[in-house]
A and B are shown apart, each in its own frame.
Chain A
Amino acid sequence: MSRDSEPRGAVILTALAALGLQLLPLPEAIALFRPAFVVLAVIFWSLNRPRAGGIAVGFLTGLALDVFKGTVLGQYALATSLIAYVTIRQHLLLRNKPVLQQTLFVAVMLLLWELVIWAIDGWTGQTSAGIGRWLDVPTSVLCWPAIAALLRRTYVAR
């Protein structure tokens, strides 16, 4: 695990995979609960290899989400780069903590992400919806331990 070989290829691959999972056609009732894979991937890399992707990964995947979702350009980009930034700032505190505490942190980050998006929706004059937008937070939190374990195994195995 030398510091010079950052797994940039793995970062790009997981970012693309997360975006793909975000696009995968699902019935509407299930799609509401679709985990925010992009945020999970960004948090994972910011937490474990803050130099591999940095905030740029958050910004670019967020921009892609803006294009896919047809929102105002920069909305998801801002929210996702904020998540990347906060996680990078805190990664030293968190990365050797037990899974439960990391999951708690991930939950807070997801809420922050949704909050920023919600605020910008309000600013751009979108009618605010009810509870629907928050439904992916619990599923994402539940997915986190599995996704983190999977990604850690693949990139530690390299």
Chain B
Amino acid sequence: MAAFANHSLPQRAPAAGLRFFIYALLALTLMVLDQRGGWLERVRYGLQAAAYPLQLAMNSPSAAWNWTTKIFEARADLQAENTRLRDANRRLRLANMRQAALEQENAQLRGLRNRLPTLAPKWLPGEVIGTESSTLRQRLTINRGATNGVHKGQAVIANDGLLGQTLRVGPWSTEIILLTDPEHAVPVQIVRNGLRTLAVGSGDPDSLTLPYLPIQADIKEGDLLVTSGLGGVFPQGYPVARVMQVRRDGSSPLAQVRAAPLAAVERDRIVAFLWFEDSHPAAPAAPATAPAGGDPSLQPLATTAPPAPVPIPAPASTSAPTPATAPPAATPPEPRPAASSPAEPRP
């Protein structure tokens, strides 16, 4: 031992210092490059690909456990689950039955010539293979990536509500940032009165904060928050959270509001990536392109007057654009795109 020590002492120390200097310089360069813009996108992509096998391997015990419990589940349990699922399915079908008719009616009320396309015609389920949950970061890793068409800044939902958005996409895995991450904010709207604000993550998986509401804002416990469609990522109308606490004390001009996310941020194992139809009015409004983009057939009738010579019975002057009073159903509804629901009644 002593001989070994004597041998290694003279040449060891300076070499270690030099090496550490090189590694530290490399780390600092990485940090600066990663922090300034997306210079390291390709590097990250490769590193995420390299990390995927280990993540998959470490997730496999719990996956195997789930699989085993499924195999040995009692027949009675399976039957009970089957009954429950049938009930749920029947409820959903009943709730959906008038969907097509309502969509048509909605288009007419909006004064559109065609029915609106499906808001989210494409979606992709994925499974959670890694979690990073601390007060500083709330992230999940999902086993779907660029090879599945996932891209950055895509909305991700779980069973009961919005979960977050994609942050870093690798070839086979994607890191998503949860609503509850302290760096994440989602533009929301109170369903009851349409009041818009931001819901910011708190670092706690069970709560969001609404820090920008004045003390006299009309908000109370139990209010449902949905996405407002602003901000360019999330479309309008997806449920986000329910207000659980409103505190107004005189010391601050802002109300202190906390809300509980509807998605089970900690427990959901299956999530879904969504793709949106850009021409839909509820699609996320990208600030620059939203007014210009869109299918012309979905513009209100009054603004596309030339191709639609519909008789206007009212004696009103033609200069008044009144889309709401345009005659309904100027053209028959188009057949819906491929993603239509199987139980679609004829209107």
Residues of chain A touching chain B, judged by Cβ–Cβ distance below 8 Å, are 3, 16, 19-20, 23-25, 28, 31-32, 50-51, 54-56, 58-59, 62-64, 67-75, 77-78, 81-82, 84-85, 88-89, 92, 96, 120-121, 124, 126-127, 129-130, 132-133
Closest 4 CB pairs of A and B: A74-B30, A78-B27, A85-B20, A129-B135
Q: How would residues 220 to 258 of chain B score, 1 for a CB under 8 Å from any chain A CB and 0 otherwise?
A: 000000000000000000000000000000000000000
What chain B residues lie within 8 Å of A71 (beta carbons)?
137
Between A and B, 28 residue pairs with Cβ closer than 8 Å are A16-B54, A23-B54, A24-B61, A25-B58, A28-B133, A28-B266, A50-B8, A50-B16, A68-B55, A70-B132, A71-B137, A72-B35, A73-B30, A73-B33, A75-B31, A77-B23, A78-B27, A78-B28, A85-B16, A92-B8, A120-B31, A126-B182, A126-B183, A127-B203, A129-B134, A129-B135, A129-B136, A133-B135
B23 to A20, Cβ gap below 8 A?
no
B27 to A121, Cβ gap below 8 A?
no
Q: Provide the bound-state CA to CA distance between A132 and B27, in Å.
A: 25
How many residues of chain B get a CB closer than 8 Å to chain A's CBs?
Answer: 56
B62 to A67, Cβ gap below 8 A?
no
What chain B residues lie within 8 Å of A28 (beta carbons)?
133, 205, 266
Given contacts A28-B266, A70-B139, A78-B24, is CB(A55)–CB(B132) below 8 Å?
A: no
Interface residues of B in 20-43 (CB under 8 A from A): 20, 23-24, 26-31, 33-35, 40, 43
Q: Provide the bound-state CA to CA distance between A126 and B28, in Å.
A: 17
A23 to B58, Cβ gap below 8 A?
yes
What chain B residues lie within 8 Å of A69 (beta carbons)?
132, 137, 139
Q: Specify the chain A residue showing the minimal Cβ separation from B12.
A: A50
Q: Provide the bound-state CA to CA distance between A78 and B168, in Å.
A: 22
Any A CB within 8 A of the CB of B308: no
Q: Provide the bound-state CA to CA distance between A120 and B59, in Å.
A: 29
A23 to B16, Cβ gap below 8 A?
no
Q: How would residues 44 to 76 of chain B score, 1 for a CB under 8 Å from any chain A CB and 0 otherwise?
A: 100110110011011101100000000000000
Closest Cβ of chain B to A39, distance in Å, is 16
What chain A residues lie within 8 Å of B141 (beta carbons)?
68
**B40, B135, B175, B266: the one within 8 Å of A132 (CB):** B135
Q: Provide the bound-state CA to CA distance between A23 and B130, in Å.
A: 7
Q: Provide the bound-state CA to CA distance between A124 and B230, in Å.
A: 27
What chain A residues lie within 8 Å of B20 (beta carbons)?
55, 81-82, 84-85
Q: Provide the bound-state CA to CA distance between A99 and B203, in Å.
A: 38
Main secondary structure of the interface of B (DSSP, over half): helix
| Known contacts A20-B54, A55-B23; 10 further A-B pairs (Cβ under 8 A) | A23-B130, A67-B44, A70-B132, A74-B28, A74-B30, A84-B20, A88-B12, A120-B31, A126-B183, A127-B136
Closest Cβ of chain A to B193, distance in Å, is 31
Q: How would residues 255 to 279 of chain B score, 1 for a CB under 8 Å from any chain A CB and 0 otherwise?
A: 0000000000010000000000000
Given contacts A23-B55, A25-B62, is CB(A70)–CB(B27) below 8 Å?
A: no
Q: Provide the bound-state CA to CA distance between A63 and B55, in Å.
A: 15
Q: Provide the bound-state CA to CA distance between A16 and B183, in Å.
A: 30
**A58, A72, A85, A92: the one within 8 Å of B34 (CB):** A72
What chain A residues lie within 8 Å of B27 (beta carbons)?
59, 62, 74-75, 77-78, 81
Closest Cβ of chain A to B150, distance in Å, is 16
What chain B residues lie within 8 Å of A82 (beta carbons)?
20, 24
What chain B residues lie within 8 Å of A120 (beta carbons)?
31
**A23, A50, A64, A81: the one within 8 Å of B24 (CB):** A81
Q: Provide the bound-state CA to CA distance between A2 and B135, in Å.
A: 47
Q: Specify the chain B residue showing the minimal Cβ separation from A16.
A: B54
Q: Provide the bound-state CA to CA distance between A64 and B52, in Å.
A: 11
**B19, B29, B168, B205: the one within 8 Å of A70 (CB):** B168
Q: Specify the chain B residue showing the minimal Cβ separation from A120.
A: B31
What chain A residues lie within 8 Å of B133 (beta carbons)?
28, 31
Closest Cβ of chain B to A13, distance in Å, is 13
Any A CB within 8 A of the CB of B167: yes
Q: Specify the chain B residue showing the minimal Cβ separation from A63.
A: B47
B28 to A73, Cβ gap below 8 A?
no
A20 to B26, Cβ gap below 8 A?
no
